[in-house]
Structure 1
Amino acid sequence: MQTNLADFIRGSARGDEAEAILRKCVHCGFCTATCPTYQLLGDELDGPRGRIYLIKQVLEGQTASARTLSHLDRCLTCRSCETTCPSGVDYHRLLDIGREVVETQVGRPLRERALRWALRQVLPFRSRFTPLLRIGQALRGVLPAALSAKLPVRRPAGDWPAGPHRRRMLVLDGCTQPGIDPDINAASARVLDRLGIRLEVAARDGCCGAVSFHLDAQPEGLDFARRLIDAWWPQIEAGVEAIIVTASGCGAFVREYGHLLRDDPLYAQKAARVSALAKDLVEVLAAEDLSALAVRPAGRLAFHCPCTLQHALRLGGQVEALLTRLGFELTVVADAHLCCGSAGTYSVTQPQLSLQLRTNKLAALEAGAPDEIATANIGCLAHLQGGTQRRVRHWIEVVDSALV
């Protein structure tokens, strides 16, 4: 794709990156066929190719409009288009640049600004999110039905083993997961304990920064990333083997630290080291001898592979293969590449589209009459659970509960 960037961005780091990405695009349109929002809305501008054209126009000097911002906002950043793209276009990075420029030019209505500010003031802070969640759970019976439906049922955390193993790994506790489902990391610790691995949480662990970054507060998101790197660094220097991330959405963002902080003289090397150490839990377990796990599976399981796991981390099929290896019976899920509609804060900022996507996803997941649904990301878990009576759990909780 030929480009002629405007003076305001030409020659800058962002401009050079955007230009390199735009020049990779060959207009083929393969991405459109796998885009969830294009499938729902049927508008070229609500597909990757159309959004690329919109961003290109703005970067070349055309004034953005509220309509431009609306089309970019509707993107889930599911990155299904990247999996499909034969040219290797880093669409999500171009979208980050485009959204920042367009929002600066256009601005948002007060209501939207207030909503995004509120999300950034609550979700990344465990000490704020969890108490507010508990209050909501306690008042569920008197809250409006729409709000009550968004509140996940409280889930207890199990025991955390204290085995003194030689092998040590860190795990991201994060911001919302400890409040919504604290047993995910505890279950991970119990399973890894059986394999002779000790799982640890850093004392100042917190949000990875994805929430703020994807709400177009990119500097704020990178500050969260720096704080998390600082929290992890003592254990990294002490020789932890890996940093496990049990929420694939967070894992995808942590893997980007090396790129996002590449020009930061104080953090570039540390960020690259963190990205190299970061592993999704399935990567760790798939490489281990699992004979020490005595597992007795029960029932049929439908697995929803989160977009961040299959399209960002490129680990599609890995959890399914591991579960099959352990003896679990998995149902067939149609259109498994499509997003469930959670997508970070998308279910709040784009509720109508999000619910349509969830309805479609649950129909596909429940078509095989599973006993329960498993996934690999806390956002998907909470979003799907809000639309079904079947239990939805993280796949490591399913494995842990089947241990003999």
Structure 2
Amino acid sequence: MQTNLAEFMRSTPDGDEAERILRKCVHCGFCTATCPTYQLLGDELDGPRGRIYLIKQMVEGAPVTRSTQQHLDRCLTCRSCESTCPSGVQYGRLVEIGRKHVEQTVPRTLAQRVLRRALATVLPQPTLFAPMYLVGLRFRRVLPRKLRDKLPARRAAGVRPTRSHPRKMLMLDGCVQPSMMPNINTATARVFDALGVQLVSAPSAGCCGALRLHLSYEDEALEDMRRNIDAWWPHIEAGVEAIVMNASGCGATVREYGHLLRNDPLYAAKARRISELTRDVCEILPGFETELAERATERGARRDLHVVAYHPPCTLQHGQQVRGSVENLLAGLGVEVRLPADSHLCCGSAGTYSILQPGLSYRLRDQKLGKLAATEPQAIVSGNIGCLAHLQSGTSKPVMHWIELVDRMIS
């Protein structure tokens, strides 16, 4: 696609990247077939191709309107379109550039500004989120539905192993996960401990930066990333084998550190190394298949879940392009894994999307739950805390991280 950048975009990092991405798009329309919002709304401007047109117009200097803002806000950034695109258009990166320009151009209402600022302030900081989460649970019944559904009952944390092993890997505990679903981290640590690997957490590491980045607080997001790099770097120099992610939303972002900090002379090289070391937990455990199978066999009498429905998070299957690992791993342990119809489509969580766009989010959730239920599972498993909380809010069926199931089978 031919593009003529406006003066304000020429010779800038965002302008150069936008032009490179736009030139790859041939407007074939394959992306619309896998776009959740286009499927719901049927509006060209609520699909990837239409949004690309809007972004092209704005980087060429066309006026940016509140309508443009609305169409970009409705995008889940699920990146399903990237998996479909035959031309390799990096839509996720392009829409972030477009959103940043819109934020700088179109003033938001006071209510929107307050809500977005609150989300970007509270959620990434455990010291703020944890007490507010407990207060929210106490008054859950009187909260608006879109907030109530974001407050699932707190699950027991379980016991985190304390043994030391020669093999060590880093793990990002996350920002909301330790408060809402702490057993995900402890279960992950227990599984790795059983396999002779010690998972190390850096106390000063915090939010991966995804939340603020997607809300267009880019400078704050980059500071989150720099803080994490500083926290992890001594461990990397000491020889940790990998950085383990059990929240695919965080993993997708940390894998982008090298790109996002490419223009920072102090952090560019370190950020690239961080991205190279980052792996979702489902990419690491297949290297221990024999050990896992042996332990599962030994404890087979304790297995209580035989059939599960698996929801592949968008940030794993589209953002990181990792598919099949969870299904194969669980199948190797004797669990029947059933994928729902349209498993490539988003559940509607998408970080803060379910709060900012509740109408679309709930429609997508209910569609997803209907298709998951059609597989007649004993439980639903996934690999991202946002998906887990969102799905659990609409069903009485048990919803858990798949690593918790592995932990139950081998511990």
TM superposition score category, shorter chain reference: over 0.9
Give, in whole Å, the separation in 2 of the partners of 1:152 and 1:34: 30
1:391 aligns with 2:390: no
RMSD over aligned CA atoms reads: 1.2
Give, in whole Å, the separation in 2 of the partners of 1:25 and 1:378: 33
The equivalent of 1:229 in structure 2 is 229
| 1:149-228 correspondence to structure 2 within 5 Å | 149-228=149-228
Paired AA for residue 100 in structure 1: K
1:66 aligns with 2:47: no
Question: 352, 372, 376: which one pairs with 1:369?
Answer: 376
TM-score (norm 2): 0.96
Structure 2: runs of 5+ lacking an equivalent? none
The 8 Å contact of residues 301 and 373 in structure 1, kept in 2 or not, is answered as yes
Q: 1:146 to 1:113 in 2, by over 3 A?
A: closer
| 1:212-291 correspondence to structure 2 within 5 Å | 212-291=212-291
Give, in whole Å, the separation in 1 of the partners of 2:108 and 2:342: 34
The 8 Å contact of residues 195 and 290 in structure 1, kept in 2 or not, is answered as no
Deviation digits for residues 373-398 of structure 1 (CA, Å, limit 9, x no counterpart): 00000000001000000111000001
1:359 aligns with 2:380: no
1:334 aligns with 2:341: yes
3-state SS, counterpart of residue 374 of structure 1? strand
Give, in whole Å, the separation in 2 of the partners of 1:168 and 1:20: 40
Paired AA for residue 122 in structure 1: V
1:34 aligns with 2:34: yes
How far does residue 314 in structure 1 lie from its aligned partner after superposition? 0.7
The equivalent of 1:381 in structure 2 is 388
Paired AA for residue 402 in structure 1: M
Paired AA for residue 268 in structure 2: A
Deviation digits for residues 37-59 of structure 1 (CA, Å, limit 9, x no counterpart): 00000000000000000000000
The 8 Å contact of residues 124 and 175 in structure 2, kept in 1 or not, is answered as yes
The equivalent of 1:140 in structure 2 is 140
TM-score (norm 1): 0.98
Q: 1:310 to 1:352 in 2, by over 3 A?
A: same
1:305 aligns with 2:312: yes
How far does residue 146 in structure 1 lie from its aligned partner after superposition? 5.5
Q: 1:367 to 1:3 in 2, by over 3 A?
A: same
Give, in whole Å, the separation in 1 of the partners of 2:234 and 2:367: 45
Deviation digits for residues 298-348 of structure 1 (CA, Å, limit 9, x no counterpart): 331001000000001111221111111111112241000000000010000
Q: 1:72 to 1:153 in 2, by over 3 A?
A: same
The equivalent of 2:6 in structure 1 is 6
Q: 1:141 to 1:115 in 2, by over 3 A?
A: closer
Q: 1:318 to 1:292 in 2, by over 3 A?
A: closer
Q: Please, which moves more after superposition, 250-259 or 130-139?
A: 130-139
Give, in whole Å, the separation in 2 of the partners of 1:340 and 1:141: 24
Paired AA for residue 340 in structure 2: V
The 8 Å contact of residues 124 and 206 in structure 1, kept in 2 or not, is answered as yes
Q: Please, which moves more after superposition, 91-100 or 282-291?
A: 282-291
Give, in whole Å, the separation in 2 of the partners of 1:144 and 1:53: 36
The equivalent of 1:122 in structure 2 is 122
The alignment-based identity, stated in percent, is 59
Between Structure 1 and Structure 2, how many residues are aligned? 404
Q: Please, which moves more after superposition, 347-356 or 148-157?
A: 148-157
The equivalent of 1:55 in structure 2 is 55
Structure 1: runs of 5+ lacking an equivalent? none
Give, in whole Å, the separation in 1 of the partners of 2:76 and 2:200: 32
Paired AA for residue 189 in structure 1: A
